[in-house]
């Protein structure tokens, strides 16, 4: 099904500079948490399908041992513009308010040659949801959101969690990390965001 991505071109969701960090959160003996404590002026990318032991704390993660990352993180300053990668419409938006959740969240819906794709944008600012309505049309390259600060984005240093899904979300949410038991199915449901973002690492 992922072959359909090759038929189109896409706009960056965040305009990265030529040089940016690529984070490694795969080894809990390293300083993964400290790597997220970069200055607001630093840009970086966190990997898809990366096992991240020790990062995700709290009952929503620990009860099912969820630690495999199914999106891509793009670190950028607070207030950085987030762009629509492709034409489509607003599917849903909400405030996921649990600690270390997405905070302000927006999901868009897109038609790729007759196949419906959903994209979650997490850790946004509150103003990102203003003047939005479900079904609202968006164009590729349109500013659809802004990165939030730690008080509104779930308690994380500023970054965008960007995740694709072939399955329509029942709520404005997607499991950003999954367990080993759910990993194989998650790879089918949540394709690599680099299919639309381009090769980032």
Residue 29 confidence (pLDDT):
53
Q: Which residue reads 């200055």 in tokens?
A: 39
Q: Where are the beta strands (DSSP E) in 60-200?
A: 68-69, 72-75, 81-83, 88-96, 103-112, 115-124, 137-138, 143-146, 159-165, 177-178
**Across 25-43, average pLDDT:** 58
Checking if the pLDDT of 33 tops 50, the result is no
Residue 39 confidence (pLDDT):
46
Checking if the pLDDT of 149 tops 80, the result is yes
**Across 7-21, average pLDDT:** 96
The residues, any chain, with a CB within 8 Å of residue 163's CB and separated by 6 or more, are 70, 71, 72, 119, 120, 122, 174, 176, 190, 193
> Which tokens sit at 182?
């759910």
- So where are the chain's domains? 2-197
Per-residue pLDDT tens for 77-98?
Answer: 999 999 999 999 999 999 999 9
The pLDDT confidence band at residue 31, using thresholds 50, 70 and 90, is very low
Residue 179 confidence (pLDDT):
97
**Across 48-73, average pLDDT:** 91
CB atoms within 10 A of CB 100: 15
Mean pLDDT of the residues in the chain: 92
**Across 98-113, average pLDDT:** 96
Checking if the pLDDT of 122 tops 90, the result is yes
| pTM, 2 dp | 0.93
Considering the domain 2-197 in this protein, what is its CATH number? Answer: 2.70.70.10
Query: What residues pair up with 68 in beta bridges, in sequence order?
Result: 51, 178
């Amino acid at each position: 099904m992922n072959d359909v991505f090759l038929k189109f071109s896409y706009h960056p969701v965040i305009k990265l500079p030529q040089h940016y960090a690529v984070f490694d959160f795969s080894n809990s003996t390293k300083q993964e948490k400290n790597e997220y404590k970069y200055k607001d002026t630093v840009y970086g990318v966190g990997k898809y399908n990366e096992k991240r032991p020790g990062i995700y704390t709290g009952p929503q993660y620990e009860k099912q041992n969820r630690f495999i990352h199914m999106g891509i993180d793009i670190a950028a300053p607070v207030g950085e513009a987030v762009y629509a990668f492709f034409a489509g419409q607003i599917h849903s938006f909400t405030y996921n308010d649990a600690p270390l959740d997405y905070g302000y969240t927006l999901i868009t819906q897109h038609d790729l040659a007759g196949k419906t794709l959903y994209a979650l944008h997490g850790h946004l600012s509150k103003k990102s949801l203003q003047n939005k309505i479900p079904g609202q049309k968006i164009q590729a390259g349109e500013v659809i959101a802004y990165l939030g600060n730690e008080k509104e984005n779930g308690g994380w240093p500023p970054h965008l969690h960007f995740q694709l899904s072939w399955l329509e979300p029942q709520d404005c949410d997607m499991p950003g990390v999954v367990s080993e038991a759910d990993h194989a199915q998650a790879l089918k449901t949540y394709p690599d965001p680099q299919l639309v973002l381009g090769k980032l690492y």
